[in-house]
Each structure stands twice: as structure tokens, then as C-alpha cells.
Amino acid sequence: MISICIGSTFCKGLSVNDIKDTIKSIDLSNAQTLNISRRGDGRQQVIKAAHHKNFVVLKCYGLKRTRIKVLFRQLGSLFLVGKSSITAKARHDTELDALSLWKREGFDVPEVYPLQKLPQDIPYCIAMEYIPSPTVAELLQDDQKSLSFKKEVIARFARVWGKRHARALELGEPRLLQENPTLSHVFVSRDRLVHFDFEIVFTRKKDLKRLVRREIVGILRSMSKASGDNFSPLLDTLLDAYPDLSYFRKTAWELLLYGTVPVMGWTAIFHRLTRRKKRYTKRLNFTKTLASALKSRCDICRGRSGSVCSCSPF
């Protein structure tokens, strides 16, 4: 183990295998801003910078809202839904920690490089591998890509996804589940499926199965939005490749009942009362498609009338 300084104020031990190059300084004079938050203090941004003959990505953390709004959201995150802190330093530390964990467990994430100093006063930044590739969502939206190619990518994703869920449950590790699950947070780089965006994570270990189902909803919603008319065949591919459909069955049941998977059990009442709102009705089409696809895979319900598997998900 060696000690690597990331930014100017944070040091963390990482294995040698986590590191490829040493970045002593980066010239930001010709850097390209890929993303920036217009709210808060303006320091929350993603920057593409040249370093020698290559590029690196600097993800820098700042306040996304005013301090008073951060305080109220902090209380809700910590005590109501069990998420990590949303302060700039905490999100920086959480992301670095999650990147290390995912890599250690064999799940592909961007390489993290040691960053010893910056020419500007940006206290919390991580230097990461630049991946000039489309996300899974962008690939599904690309009309130039064949359906068979898209199915192959979704099958690969589903197999890795199932292994990650199984590992998270085995370890009791909520950090192996994405707090903001979407196919827009997975790069397709040749044979790699590279996940990113880990600045906030769930922290409670006692309800991991619910968090798995919550991640399933996020991915299905993302796939439905990105794939359009190809959603049904891609869903079939996803279900065929994912190893344990019991999680999908209970997810479908909760979607039909609440319109979502409640983050915590006590919030189910709220979701039940508000499930007719627009944000829930948008999920109705992919929910019905999911329920029908699951029924076709159930030996008990396949021959019964109706479009929903009536087997108990519990």
C-alpha cells in the first residue's frame, strides 16, 4: 500500500494496482468543462484536461445549493432515507471510497490517478481516467446500431448487474448499489462496462433487498426511455441474462401497487396515496411490459388469464 494525495487536503491509501500514472500538476488553461452546476458555489464541475499526450477527467466537488438548503437536505439524507452526507468533502470522500470498493470487488470503474496539486484553488477533486465512449443509454438511442448489438450489450450488462447484486447482498454492502441508477452512468468501451457517479451512497445495511429493487426500477426506467420501441425485446434479453428473477417479480408487484419501490417501508403509505401523479403514471407502460414478460416465464401463471403473474413475490 502507498499513500496517495488527492487534491490538496485529502490522502487515502490505495493499492498499486489502482494507479497507473502520477499526475504532478495539470494545466487548466485550455481545459474543457464537460459539466458544471449552476447552483451553489459554482465549484461542482467535471473538467477534461490534457496531461502530456493524454486526457484526464477532473471531478471537482462544491456546494450544489445554498448552505441552508444543504443543511435541510443533509438532515433528510442522513435520518430519513439513510444516505451519505451531501457536503462537498463528504461527496469527494464517498466517491473515492466507492471507486476503490467497486474496483476491489472486480466491477469496472474509471481508473483513479494520484493528483498532488492543482494550479487553482479547488480543494476537493479526483483525477480519473478519461473514457471517450458512449454510455449504454446513448448506445440504445443510436439508430445506427443494430438491435442484435444492443441486445448483446444489455445481456453483458445484466450478467454483471446480477453478480453485483449478489455480491452486495453477500457482503451486506450498500455501497455496491448505485444511489442514482441509470444506464447514463455506464460507459460502453469495447469489452468494458464502466460505471461512474458514486458521490452519494446508501448507508443502511438492513434493507439491501429493497435497495436492489430500487436500482432495478431506475435501470428499467432508463432503458425504457432510451430504447423506445425496442424496449420489449431488450427487456426479454435482460430478464434472460439476469440470474434471479425473484427480485424483478417483487419489483413489478410494488410498481403496480405503489408506482415505485419505497426507499423505506413507512413511505409506502405516501406512495400509495400519490401513485396517480404524473411521475408514477410515466412508469406504467414499462411496468405492464415487465409484468407480462415475467408472467410468460412463470410455469404456474403462463396459462392463466390476465397479463400479470399472480404468484406471490414474497
Q: Taking the chain, what is the end-to-end CA distance rounded to the nearest angstrom?
A: 45
- The pLDDT of residue 13 is 36
> Coil, strand, or helix at residue 195?
strand
pLDDT at 163 > cutoff 70: yes
Residue-wise pLDDT tens digits, 103-141: 999 999 999 988 766 656 667 889 999 999 999 999 999
Domain ranges of the chain: 2-129, 136-296
Count how many Cα atoms sit within 13 Å of the Cα of residue 89 in the half-sphere of its side chain.
5
Would you tell me how many other CB atoms lie within 10 Å of the CB of residue 106? 10
Please give the average per-residue pLDDT across 45-56, as a whole number.
Answer: 83
- Residues 277 and 248: their CA atoms lie apart, in Å, by 23
**Closest to 138 (Cα-Cα) out of 222, 218, 199, 46:** 222
Residue-wise pLDDT tens digits, 257-283: 877 776 655 454 544 455 455 556 667
Residue-wise pLDDT tens digits, 81-108: 678 777 888 889 999 999 999 999 999 9
**Closest to 189 (Cα-Cα) out of 153, 231, 162:** 153
Please give the average per-residue pLDDT across 242-261, as a whole number.
Answer: 88
pLDDT at 74 > cutoff 70: no
- The pLDDT of residue 46 is 85
Mean pLDDT (the chain) is: 79
- The pLDDT of residue 172 is 96
- Least confident residue range of 139-153, 198-212, 236-250: 198-212
CB 86 within 8 Å of CB 77 = yes
- The highest-confidence range among 36-40, 58-62, 216-220, by mean pLDDT, is 216-220
Global pTM exceeds 0.85: no
**Contacts (Cβ under 8 Å, ≥6 apart) of 301:** 295, 309, 310, 311
